Amino acid sequence: MNSVAGTPRCGVRRISLSRVCPGLWTAQRAVPTILTLLLTTAGLFAQTDPASEPAVLAVAKVLPAVVNINTERVVKRRVRDPFEDFAAQYFGNYRSRPREIRQTLQSLGSGFIVDKAGYIVTNEHVVQRAADLKIEVTMNDGKVYNARYITGDDQKDLAFIKIEAKADFPFIDLNNISPNLLGQTVLVVGNALGYGSSISRGVLSGTKRDITVEDVEYKDLLQTDAAINPGNSGGPLVDLSGRLVGVSSAKMAFTPQGVPTQGLGFAIPAETVRTSVTQFKEIAQKQPAPKTKSSEPEQPGPNAQRFFGMQLQNLTPDLTDALGYAAGKGVLISAVELDSPADRAGIQRGLVIYRIGKYNVTTVKQVESLLLRASSGSEVDFTVGIVKANGGGQAMETVPLTAR
């Protein structure tokens, strides 16, 4: 065999290619294998189905057990009407009973069912332990249940509530929880900003974190960079197998020194949740069975207050004279609830309602009668202003309000 500069001349007759040019021979044999691998890989990418992604499968597994929680608490306080105090300066015997102010406080959060009987875990700060609290639970399929508060733990920020139904509920199994390994993928499932069935994704960033929120110290929390937003509180943090990692609890937007942060969310570990649920169930078993109907149902408030956030008062002759308003016209607005439809429309205490729709009004009773047909979402025109006895005052204006 001849060669140039020591390089074999490949392809000489009767000489084996594998012996003369072993590198070329190997490459030729490898080409079909490489092509097959490339085609197979391309096929895998082309055939990937989002429905088979681990995160999608995990969400589908846990979502039926995740609930949205709306709570409503009515706070009552007794106050004196400042207009009556003003009138009392002119009429010493003009006094009436203190008025009762009813303010509705609402809270929004998430939770998840941990037992087929309908036991639900959430954050204590979401449901706020109280006997008079109204708790409404919405399932992922849209069904709504009234829940009752069983017990809770302020230090761990965990609470236990229950809903009732004849059928078994879907639930997240606390007997099979995540190993909680640093760097593992985690999913936040819940009611972010009121949007049900919201999902965010990140990793488990740390364990055994201690933080302080509003002078309350929480210990041994998990840290994640998955987005935790208002409304996520109480919802589950799960891994890609759908196992519980923890309960979303808090997000640190700023350090105690005021430095803004990113990707600092915290959750209560699943192990802590499991231990607490065992204790909560023991308490639940000792509680009496719930009553099917309340013996003293709460009476709805006046329609003007319930739907539009206005407290009204008759303009008596003495009060009319003291304020200098035109006699025999309108109903006084004595208070406006913060962030109510009336407040958002710019209606203020001290204005007078002169007409509702096309009807003139002179008493609170007339107003309530005209608002009997009002319901959530309906629009009512209120003509308000101030007409002085001497003909002066603010011009009247018709303001449309949408009932809440």
Residue with the larger pLDDT of the pair 173 and 372: 173
Residues 196 and 63: beta-carbon distance below 8 Å: no
165 contacts: CB under 8 Å, gap ≥ 6: 118, 145
153 contacts: CB under 8 Å, gap ≥ 6: 124, 159, 276
In degrees and rounded to multiples of 5, residue 307 shows phi and psi of: -95, -30
- The residue out of 249, 272, 295 marking a domain boundary is 272
Q: Do 41 and 104 sit in the same domain of this protein?
A: no
Looking at the predicted structure, is the pLDDT value of residue 371 above 60?
Answer: yes
- The residue out of 272, 289, 312 marking a domain boundary is 272
Residue 298 within any structural domain of the chain: no
Q: Do 365 and 327 sit in the same domain of this protein?
A: yes
| pLDDT at residue 20 in the model | 45
Q: How many domains does the chain have?
A: 4
Question: What does the alpha-carbon distance between residue 114 and residue 283 come to, in Å, rounded to a whole number?
Answer: 16
Q: Which amino acid is at 352?
A: V
Question: What does the alpha-carbon distance between residue 272 and residue 280 come to, in Å, rounded to a whole number?
Answer: 12
Average pLDDT of the chain to the nearest whole number:
79
The residue segments making up the domain with residue 257 are: 185-272
Buried b or exposed e, range 272-286, using 16+ CB within 10 angstroms: bbeebbeebbeebee
User: What is the percentage of the chain residues whose pLDDT exceeds 70?
Assistant: 71
Residue 288 within any structural domain of the chain: no
Residue 293 within any structural domain of the chain: no
Residue 236 within any structural domain of the chain: yes
Q: Which of 137-151, 239-253, 262-276, 308-322 has the lowest mean pLDDT?
A: 308-322
Smallest Cα–Cα separation from 184: which of 172, 209, 202? 202
Which residue is associated with the tokens 């072993």?
22
- The residue out of 116, 131, 162 marking a domain boundary is 162
CATH number of the domain residue 377 falls in? 2.30.42.10
User: What is the percentage of the chain residues whose pLDDT exceeds 90?
Assistant: 40
Residue 219 within any structural domain of the chain: yes
Residue 42 within any structural domain of the chain: yes
Smallest Cα–Cα separation from 304: which of 363, 355, 360, 371? 371
Question: What does the alpha-carbon distance between residue 196 and residue 205 come to, in Å, rounded to a whole number?
Answer: 25
Does this model's pTM top 0.75? no
DSSP 347: -
Looking at the predicted structure, is the pLDDT value of residue 354 above 80?
Answer: yes
Query: What dihedral do alpha carbons 64, 66, 68, 74 form, nearest 10°?
Result: 120
Q: Do 38 and 68 sit in the same domain of this protein?
A: no
CATH number of the domain residue 140 falls in? 2.40.10.10
Residue 280 within any structural domain of the chain: no
The catalytic residues are 125, 157, 233
Looking at the predicted structure, is the pLDDT value of residue 341 above 60?
Answer: yes
Question: What does the alpha-carbon distance between residue 125 and residue 190 come to, in Å, rounded to a whole number?
Answer: 16
Question: What does the alpha-carbon distance between residue 63 and residue 271 come to, in Å, rounded to a whole number?
Answer: 21
| pLDDT at residue 15 in the model | 43
Looking at the predicted structure, is the pLDDT value of residue 370 above 60?
Answer: yes
Q: Do 43 and 82 sit in the same domain of this protein?
A: no
| pLDDT at residue 91 in the model | 45
Q: Do 34 and 94 sit in the same domain of this protein?
A: no
Confidence of residue 2 (pLDDT cuts 50, 70, 90): very low
